[in-house]
Amino acid sequence: AQRVTQPEKLLSVFKGAPVELKCNYSYSGSPELFWYVQYSRQRLQLLLRHISRESIKGFTADLNKGETSFHLKKPFAQEEDSAMYYCALGAGGTSYGKLTFGQGTILTVHP
Amino acid sequence: DTGVSQNPRHKITKRGQNVTFRCDPISEHNRLYWYRQTLGQGPEFLTYFQNEAQLEKSRLLSDRFSAERPKGSFSTLEIQRTEQGDSAMYLCASSLTGTTEGGYTFGSGTRLTVV
C-alpha cells in the first residue's frame, strides 16, 4: 500500500528565511513523487516532480530513497509562497497514474 | 481549451437526495480521475478512467457512488441517497496515458454540502 506523510500541518517562516516542507512516503515499488500547491482561491496545481530534477519558483526537492523522503526546500522564502502544499506519490503497475496525497502543509510566509 | 472544467461549483442538497457532478477534461487527455477532499485532508482517490473504461475504483466508493465516462470525453459522478458524510470537495483531474511525468491538471472542484 502507498502512504504519504507530511508531519507538519502548519509551517510559518519570515520572508527571506529558508523553508523546508517535509514529506515521507511508504511504497514497495519504484516511486514517482510530486509536489502540488494550492494558492488561495486557486485550483490545485503541479509544482514539481522528482523525475525532472527541476527548480520551480526557487523550490527544489530531492528524492532520498534510503530515508524514503522527498522534502521541498527553498533557500529564501517569499510572501507569495504562502499556500497549501501537498506531497503526492505515483503508483505503478495497473494503478499507473493514480496519486496518493499527503494531508498537506499550510505554509505562511510573514513579511 | 481552458483546462479541466467542473460543474456545478457548489451543490447543497438534502440528505437522501441524488446528486450528479460533471467534469470536462482537457480534450487531448485520455485519463480522467475523481478525488474527494474533506476539510484538513489531502485529496483521496475515488476512481479513474482511461478513455471510456473505468480502470480502478477505491474502497471509498460505496455502491451509492457511480461514475461514467461515455465516449471517453466528459465524466459524471453520481451519488445516490446522499448522507451528511458525503459533504466534501469533489475534484476531477486529467492526464495523458502512460506517464505521470506531466502530473495531473485539476479542475476547481465541486463543493457538496448535504444538509
pLDDT tens digit sequence for A52-71: 778 889 999 989 989 999 99
Inter-chain touch B103–A34, beta carbons under 8 Å? yes
Q: Does residue B38 contact residue B109 with C-beta atoms inside 8 Å?
A: no
Q: Which stretches in chain B have pLDDT values below 70?
A: 1, 98-102
Per-residue DSSP letters for A14-44?
Answer: ETTS-EEE--EEE-SS--EEEEEEE-TTS--
Kindly state the cell numbers that stand for B1: 481549451
> Which residues of chain A have a pLDDT value below 70?
92-96
User: Given the DSSP bridges, would you call strands B110-114 and B10-13 parallel, antiparallel or unpaired?
Assistant: parallel
Q: Is B107 on the interface with A (CB under 8 A)?
A: yes
* Distance set, CA A70 to CA A31, A87, B99, B115 (Å): 10, 8, 19, 40
Interface test with B, best of A49, A85, A98 (most B CBs within 10 A): A98
Give which of A30, A47, A32 is closest to A89, Cα–Cα. Answer: A32
Q: What was the pLDDT predicted at A26?
A: 94
The reported pLDDT for the residue numbered B49 is 92
Rg of chain A over CA atoms, in angstroms? 14
Give B80-106 pLDDT, tens digit per residue. 999 999 999 999 999 887 555 557 899
Assess contact for A70 and A53: CB atoms under 8 A.
no
- Say what the pLDDT of residue B53 is: 92
